[in-house]
Amino acid sequence: MTEAPGTTSDLNKLLALFDLEEPEPDLFIGLHPTEVGARTFGGQLLSQGVVAAGRSVPRPTPVHALNAHFIRGGDVSKPIEYHVTRLRDGKPFANRLVNAMQDGEEIFSMLVAFQDNKAGLEHSVQSPDVAYPEDLPPLGEHFKGFEDRIALFVNAMHPIDIRFANDPTWKARESGERLEHNRVWMRTDGQMPDDPLMHIAALCYASDTTVLDSIITTHGLSWGIDRLFAATVNHSMWFHRDFRFDEWLLYATESPVAAGSRGLGTGRFFTREGLLATTVVQEALIKYFPPKK
């Protein structure tokens, strides 16, 4: 894949993840980046899966929605096979089923719907009133003083420029603040190719980064500091309007419920002009192990 001008090395790594090999029709092979955790990052599965689905659609048709289920933790030392089933190819619609496999076992399954955008009724909920990203510190500023406690986040790949409009989980915990919502500006850390599918894929990747934060900040907890275990169960997205993800989008998230050892995170991506571009819902297994007294 040709590197886009003005991209950072981490963004180029992300774009390389989208450059899937296609050894045979409707079979795509995805690789892992160098920076990995204990299991495949959910955002990687979402983004590579939507690229595989999009590359199987014979004519340019916008992604309308996706509904994904995480079945097993992916092995970060092995490539992932994305098997695409063509469910429908209509004039305004297309539907695809994507199954991600490793060693003959399914680790992830996703339905992806495509639909032409046509004029119709329009309205949108109001975007939250927060400071603009230019007035907010970059993510690295929030790491200072916490490097040892949140080393997993510090050492991760950072292809997305993130500007918190409120304190991230570790700072909120330090101050004793309980946050029932999270507001963060996001864009890719550099210029993206013009292909709309690449912008959808990058947004899918980013959508898995902060959507669960409100579950734990509601209880005054933080990733990397408290003993927490989280594993995504399912993830859904609806794409309402065209956007470029190398331009700022505000990711406004909250958690309406946590019960039965699961937590639900909901999110909305707003354009800088305040229009709702994408809606996200994610459910995850969340376990907290309080310190023994």
* Residue 2 maps to a domain: no
Q: Which structural domain range is residue 224 located in? A: 9-117+134-288
pLDDT in tens, 27-62: 999 999 988 888 999 999 999 999 999 999 998 899
* Residue 126 maps to a domain: no
User: Which residue among the candidates 169, 210, 271, 282 is catalytic per the annotation?
Assistant: 282
* Residue 193 maps to a domain: yes
Total domains in the chain come to 1
* CATH number of the CATH domain containing 65: 2.40.160.210
- For this structure, is 282 an active site residue? yes
pLDDT in tens, 125-135: 999 999 999 99
* Residue 4 maps to a domain: no
Of the pLDDT bands very low, low, confident and very high (cuts 50, 70, 90), residue 8 is low
Full-model pTM = 0.94
* Residue 127 maps to a domain: no
- For this structure, is 232 an active site residue? yes
* Residue 24 maps to a domain: yes
* Residue 194 maps to a domain: yes
User: Which residue among the candidates 7, 188, 232, 278 is catalytic per the annotation?
Assistant: 232
User: Which residue among the candidates 208, 213, 246, 271 is catalytic per the annotation?
Assistant: 208
Please give the residue that has the higher pLDDT: either 97 or 91: 97
Edge-first strand listing for the sheet containing 80-89: 21-24, 27-30, 80-89, 93-102, 105-115, 63-70, 228-239, 276-288, 262-271, 249-259, 181-188, 160-164
* Residue 165 maps to a domain: yes
Residue-wise DSSP of 216-266: HHTTT--TTTS-EEEEEEEEEEEE-S---TTS-EEEEEEEEEEETTEEEEE
DSSP SS3 for 8? coil
